[in-house]
Structure 1
Amino acid sequence: MSRKAIAIIFACIAVLAVVLAVMPRFWMGGSDGISGHGWAAYIIGAVMTVGLSGGLFFLTFYSARHGHDDIDRPDDPAV
């Protein structure tokens, strides 16, 4: 893995950590707190969304690089 990719991954993890650290402060101002099950559902949903997005991006680039998206038609325009 390149240094740029590692830097991007660490930056994403840092942003996620900041968001997770700040998020409870915003929700504490509300009338109800979030239970442990709520936090688990929130985190699982976020991880699954990021995983699905990453998987779909991977499939898109894999398909494009291996020629699966090429137009398959004859070179002769008369056919």
Structure 2
Amino acid sequence: MVKPPQGFIKVNSDASLDLRRKRMGLGVVARDYARKVVAVLCDLRDASMDSAGAEMMAALKAVVLWSCAFSRGGGG
């Protein structure tokens, strides 16, 4: 795992599909330079897209988490 420089937050996202049940799981984790988890997000929803779409949805969730939790002024 590559840690971010001090003063930075690293955000990772991933997605998983269960095509048989037509469900997908999305996950996001944010860590600081000491690898301490500072925020997480998980979502389980109906899958109406392929794996590339699911990965893009997870990346979008990462951006939303970042903008709400870490933007200047506290987000919201």
Q: Which has the higher strand share?
A: 2
Structure with the higher helix share, 1 or 2:
1
Greater relative contact order (CA < 8 Å, ≥ 6 in sequence): 2
**Structure number, greater radius of gyration:** 1
Tell me which interval the TM-score lies in, with the shorter structure as reference length.
0.3 to 0.5
TM-score (norm 1): 0.35
